[in-house]
Chain A
Amino acid sequence: MATAYTRADQIGLYLTAPLDNADAGNVSACLGGARQAQQVRQLDAMIEGELAPIIVEQIGGIVGEGSAQVRAVSTTTVAYTAPDGEEGTAVTIADGGVVLLEGETSSEYVRIRRDGSDLLADALTLDVRKIYDNLIAIGDVSAADNTAGIDEYLAGMLCAHGDAGAAATKVYIGTLAPQQVSDIAQLAATGTGTIEANTTDAFEDWPASGYARVTTAGGTLREIVYYTSRTAQTLLITDEAHRALLGTSMAAGAVDDVIDCVPGIRIGVEAPDSDGFIQTIADRETAPTGITWSTAITAAAGLSVPALPTLGTYGLWIHRQIPPAITESIRSENVICLEIDGTYTQKYYGLYRVQSTQAARAKVFIGEDARPDFDAAPEYSGAPTFPIVIVLTPPPSGQKTFNVCVRETDPYGLEAYNSYAHPITIDSTGAQVHTALTPVIDAEFVELGSGYVQLRARYPLGFDELGADYFRYYLTTDGTAPDPGTDTPVDTIMRIGGGGPWRSLTAELGPYDYGTQLKAIIRPYNSTEDVEGDSIDVVTHTIALVAAPAPALPSAGMGGVSAYDSGAAFPQTIAYLNAPTNTVYWKYRPGTTELWAGSQLVFRAMASGQNQITLHIPAAFSLTEGAVSGAGSANPVEVSSATRLYLCVAGQRVADINVAAFTITAPSFDASGAILPEDTPVVGPSLALDDFSCFQVYDPAQGRWRSFLCVDNAGVFSARWLAQTAS
């Protein structure tokens, strides 16, 4: 069984703090002094899965980030698989126990604790990650500190936290990318310049910006510099202030110099006093005294920490140097390595961010008749201060669409990844050409009955940069196709509503005679720019109604009675009596019922609203008493011809209406209304009973149909109030 706090885990790095520091336990308080209880984690992990009693305390960092696993091999044993490694030996762990699990090698390890007696089963998957802003990182760099440059110092404390103490340890700086050799170009003794490697892809795996440690081929440190950018083969040192860093001096480079990618830190160790304390600095910008700094990148050249007794400590100072005006970064990295007893390795990582005011940019990408190329240089790149004005060059001929996308970059250099481009089309004169408005969809006529139709269409929102605010339609009723070039359009404003991503047209048209052929072209229209769609699609409909729909009666609403609105009870309705010719018809609406023969009104009944119902017959008609006989129709009105009508009762003609001669003949006329039924339960302008035929009008005051004329089987033409009027 691997014992916790032994082997690679025999020594740990802990936070420090002055004894009286209230912020003890935080990285910001690591100004030296005494060791704190918090151990610095080499790595951390997001943990998935369930292995309930197991707590992950420390992950050995030699392999770096990746997916690791702690697996229950049995109900009492667990094993560890480091990132990209093989599973190590299973170890028994008891409730309350702490064990060290090693992976494929002894430096790939995890220290775990068991907190619970539940039998072990299943596994924990560890998404192992490096940590931001820990002791190793020092902390994020603000834009102001970046502009001026800043040197910062923090201290940790190495501690032999195992029962057996810790063997001698070497401490050194970890490198960040493969070592390269300078070849074609080197830095001069002073000034800016480049370092060019001997292979074309030498620096491909290096960070986009960072620190380079230059040593001679013989291994002597020459200089540490900061490169602001690089190509695959060349490091660019663009500021002399970026040279001679971390205690080095400017020196001319040479062919065969060895170039290492290093963090911007150096380290020093300090033996504690008899109380276990190291010096305390006033603040993180104050350098500790008496420290011999090292930028060594190998254990052999690293700082030596002697073997320590149990709970013995040794100070470790970290100095991070940020020269003025370095490149922004969302992920800069420091690494410090420990080699213990010449055998085991620990690797501590810390990530930090660097702000730069110069990094905040707005980039305008424009694709001409194509999508923008985000890999190409932007059309504009500058401070994100709006408005931004760009001159568009009109095409020599025809039209050109400029697809414009703005991506912003923040002070850390992170660029937005939006890719939607806004189109602007201009012609050769420089005039903007609005993209044709998207045609309407679902255009149709819907027959409402009685010769009325509804013209419907939908305009989808959001397609058009310009957008429409009106429906515009061209309508013909003679069977010819509308001609938007000559016909007069009808504009209907698009109203908000409906809840969907469109606007709807519902134009009520009519009445039209049976067989009328309607044709319409419907387009979206922008009234501001006077732009309309260019669709020439014709929607066609032929009036085919032969019966009127039942009117909708006003009704009580839930919890109360609706106020009556005569316009809302039912629309004006046409009920033809001689389909398919459709020249004789009832026309009725709340308060009025009319009988028409062609263009001639035969009679009109009106409900006045004061409980009066009046039958008006045009003065042109003469009322003649006389016998009327013969078989008629079951319908109360028989249409013998376009100008000859009979009122019928039970299939027998009882009154004769000659529209051509303007005569109404019936055995007798009675204006007393004696035989009028007061009320009927039937809706509509006419009602056939066994002994009567009644003619009705809807009385909006009473909310019901009432008789205005009744003809009985003896031919008595009876109305409550009968009047003859001019029309």
Chain B
Amino acid sequence: MAFLITEAVKIGEGAWRYSWSGTAPFDIMLGGNVVLSQTDNTSLIVQWQDEPHASTIEPPAIEGVDSTQDRATLCQSMLPPFITVQFRGKTTNAYYKIEAYDGADWQTITTMAESGRGYYKYTSPTRMTFTYDLRVVPYDASGTAGTPLELTFFHHTHPAPRDLTYTYDAGTNNLTIDEA
């Protein structure tokens, strides 16, 4: 029996409980990450803060697989809602700044120290679905910047649920679904 969400109920302001069935153990993904790994639990409470893009109207969406399914088939596994920048360091550098272009200037997102480990990764914290300009700027110990490595991403992932209102008119029996 494959993973199936059997219940999704609101249990408080900005809090929901998911329940599911299937053949344990389960892997549960939220926001592109595995939040429950090989668990026998069959429910999870999520809050709107659990995914930056989520709202207090729609819960962060979860996905899961049971022991009969492949985690790689999940939407979040195939197209996670973040990007990862990988670059090769050089031990002659002291640190690297990851910068994002905001349309006018380069804004520093984070700084990573050169540790001699070879490859470095930066994973963006937020859901992004657009073209994104990033660069990695190496600095030496005196703070002098080297030549940046500029990267342009077109990142695309599954759409987030839109905040909608559901209004029923008893006179017409019409259910009107509109943007909140």
Please report A residues at the B interface, Cβ cutoff 8 Å: 46-47, 50-55, 115-116, 118, 124, 132-133, 140, 330, 353, 364, 371, 386-394, 402, 404, 406-410, 412, 414-422, 424, 426, 429-432, 460-463, 501-502
Residue B119, interface by CB 8 Å:
yes
CB atoms of A462 and B159 under 8 A apart? no
Report B-chain residues with C-beta under 8 Å of the C-beta of A140: 154
Instruction: Tell whether B16 is near chain A: CB-to-CB under 8 Å.
Output: yes
Chain B 80-95, CB within 8 Å of chain A: the 1/0 string? 0000101010110000
B177 touches A50 (CB 8 A): no
Chain B residues closer than 8 Å to A402, beta-carbon distance:
175
Given A52-B118, A410-B159, does the pair A461, B177 have CB atoms closer than 8 Å?
no
Q: Which residue in chain B gives the minimum CB-CB distance to A51? A: B118
Are B161 and A407 interface neighbours, CB within 8 A?
A: yes
User: Is the Cβ of A394 less than 8 Å from the Cβ of B162?
Assistant: no
Question: Smallest distance from the beta carbon of A405 to chain B beta carbons, Å?
Answer: 9
B1 contacts A by Cβ under 8 Å: no
Q: Give the distance to chain B from A310, nearest Cβ to Cβ, in Å.
A: 28
Known: A389-B174, A406-B164. 16 other contacts (CB 8 A): A47-B86, A55-B88, A55-B118, A387-B176, A387-B179, A388-B178, A389-B176, A391-B172, A392-B173, A419-B8, A426-B173, A460-B11, A460-B12, A501-B13, A501-B14, A501-B15
Residues of A within 8 A of B128 (CB): none
**B177 contacts A364, C-beta separation under 8 Å:** yes
Is B176 within 8 A of A371, CB to CB? Answer: no
B41 within 8 A of A: no
Using C-beta atoms within 8 Å of the partner chain, give the interface range for chain B: 35 or more
Contact with A along B48-91 (1 / 0, CB 8 A): 00000000001101110000000000011001000010101011
Q: How far is the CB of A71 from chain B (nearest CB, A)?
A: 14
Chain A residue at minimum C-beta to C-beta distance from B118 = A52
Q: What residues of chain B lie closer than 8 Å to A426, measured between beta carbons?
A: 168, 170, 173
Contact of A330 with B79 in the complex, beta carbons under 8 Å: yes
What's the least CB distance linking A267 to chain B, in Å? Answer: 25
Q: Are the CB atoms of A432 and B164 closer together than 8 Å?
A: no
Choose one: A52, A54, A391, A407; the contact of B175 (CB below 8 Å): A391
A426, B6: Cα distance in complex, Å: 22
> Chain B nearest CB: distance from A579 CB in Å?
44
Give B89's nearest chain A residue, CB to CB.
Answer: A52
Give B164's nearest chain A residue, CB to CB.
Answer: A406
> Which of chain B's residues have a CB closer than 8 A to the CB of A463?
10-12
B159 near A404: Cβ-Cβ < 8 Å:
no
Is B8 a contact of A421 with CB atoms below 8 Å?
Answer: yes
User: Closest CB of chain B to A164's CB: distance in Å?
Assistant: 28
Contact between chains at B177 and A387 (CB < 8 Å): yes
A392 touches B168 (CB 8 A): yes
* In contact, A406 and B162 (Cβ under 8 angstroms): yes
- Alpha-carbon distance A367/B75, docked complex (angstroms): 23
SS class, residues of chain A in contact with chain B = loop
| Residues of B contacting A414 in the complex (Cβ-Cβ under 8 angstroms) | 75, 79, 156-159
Question: Which 4 A-B residue pairs are closest in the complex by CB-CB distance?
Answer: A501-B12, A418-B161, A387-B178, A462-B13
A530 to chain B, nearest CB (A): 15
Residue from B63, B119, B121, B175 within 8 A of A417 (CB atoms): B63
Distance in Å from the Cβ of A720 to the closest Cβ of chain B?
58
Given A388-B177, A389-B174, A419-B5, A46:B13 Cβ within 8 A? no
Q: Which residues of A contact B174 (CB under 8 A)?
A: 389-392
**A422:B166 contact, CB within 8 angstroms:** yes
Which of these, B15, B61, B157, contacts A418 with CB under 8 Å?
B61
User: CA A426 – CA B7 in complex, angstroms?
Assistant: 21
Contacts of A419 in B (CB 8 A): 5, 8, 18, 61-62
Task: Collect the chain A residues with CB atoms within 8 Å of residue B162's CB.
Answer: 406, 408
**How far is it, in angstroms, between the C-alpha of A667 and the C-alpha of B37 when the chains are bound?**
88
* CB pair B58 A54 closer than 8 Å: no
Which interface residue of B11, B84, B161 has the most chain A CB atoms within 10 A?
Answer: B161
Closest to B60 in A: A418
For A54, the chain B residues whose CB sits under 8 A away are: 118
With A52-B118, A55-B88 in contact, is A386–B158 under 8 Å at CB?
no
In the assembled complex, how far is the CB of residue B11 from the closest CB belonging to chain A, in whole angstroms?
7
B140-180 contacts to A, CB under 8 A, are: 154, 156-162, 164, 166, 168, 170-179
**For A51, what are the chain B residues with a Cβ–Cβ distance below 8 Å?**
118
A431 to chain B, nearest CB (A): 5
Q: A54-B118, A463-B12 are in contact. Are A408 and B159 (CB under 8 A)?
A: yes
In the complex the two chains form, what is the Cα distance from A386 to B177 in whole Å? 7
CB within 8 Å for A420 and B170 given contacts A55-B88, A330-B156, A406-B161: no
A416 and B116 in contact (CB under 8 A), knowing A389-B175, A389-B176, A463-B10?
Answer: no
Q: Can you list 13 contacts pairing A with B, beta carbon distance less than 8 Å?
A: A46-B84, A50-B117, A50-B118, A353-B156, A386-B179, A389-B174, A390-B174, A390-B175, A404-B166, A406-B162, A420-B16, A462-B10, A462-B14
C-alpha spacing A416/B173, complex, angstroms: 27
Interfacial chain A residues near B13, Cβ < 8 Å = 461-462, 501
Q: Report how far A415 CA is from B11 CA in the complex, Å.
A: 26
Cβ contacts under 8 Å, B63 to chain A: 417
CB-CB under 8 A from B6, the residues of chain A are: 371
Name the distance in Å between B22's Cβ and chain A's nearest Cβ.
14
Q: Please measure, in the bound complex, the distance between the C-alpha atom of A386 and the C-alpha atom of B58, giving whole angstroms.
A: 17
**B121 closest partner in A (C-beta):** A46
Q: Which residue of B lies closest to A412 (CB)?
A: B156
CB B4 to nearest CB in A, in angstroms, measures: 9
Interface centre among B63, B116, B117, B175 (most CB of A within 10 A): B175
The interface residues of chain A lying within 8 Å CB-to-CB of B166 are: 404, 422, 424
